[in-house]
Amino acid sequence: MELEIKKKSKRKLQTLTGFISFIIGLLALTVLNIGLLIETVDIPELFLFPLPFLGVFLGVIGVFTKNRSKQFAWWGIGVNVFIPIFFVLMMGLSWTINAKP
């Protein structure tokens, strides 16, 4: 049986910006995991704020790109928003537990 397609239809590829956003998110998450596993507080700031913000920016562009799948863009936004929120929450909670002057 032959596969039939209509000429006009296009395959929905991922947006490039969404893909890059997701990759940035995964990279920052990896660094965050390494930091948690080796129990250090000296996680390079680049991976906590600047890179995730860039990831969110690219993800938003990806979401507004027409005729492209936005799956990676949404994941990119989600992961990149999670990282700074996680860090700020952790700082706040650590400060409340057994706080010392």
Partner 1 sequence: MSDEHKQDQNNDENLYKAYMMKTKNDIHTSPSLSEEEQREIIRVGSNTARNATVMISLAILLLMLPIMTLITYLYYGIGGKANTMIDVVGKTIYVTEPNVSLEEMEIENEIGLFSMNVTFDTFKRIGSEDYLAEKVDVYFGLDEPKFPEKISFLEQLPPMGYGIDVVKDGQKMYHPDAMIPFNTIEAEDVLNNLPDGTVAEAYLSFSELMKPNEIEKALPKEMEVRWLAVDTGLEAKQLDKEGVPITPIGYPAQVDPTTWSPFDGDQTNEEVFLDILKFLEKNEQTAEIVSQIKSLEIQDRRKYVEDNGIQVYGAVVTGPVPELRKLEQVKEVRAINVGEVKLWNWK
Name which position in 32, 48, 51, 58 contacts partner 1 (CB under 8 A). Answer: 32
Q: Does 89 bind partner 1 (CB under 8 A)?
A: yes
Which stretch, 41-49, 51-59, 68-76, contacts partner 1 (CB under 8 A)?
Answer: 68-76
Evaluate whether 31 touches 43 at the Cβ level (below 8 Å): yes
The 3-state DSSP class for residue 38 equals: coil
Name the one residue in this structure whose structure tokens are 């492209």.
Answer: 68
User: In whole angstroms, how far apart are CA 74 and each of 38, 48, 62, 99?
Assistant: 30, 19, 8, 37
Residues that bind partner 1 (CB under 8 A): 2-7, 11, 13-14, 22, 25-26, 29-30, 32-33, 36-37, 71-72, 75, 79, 82, 86, 89-90, 92-94, 96-98, 100
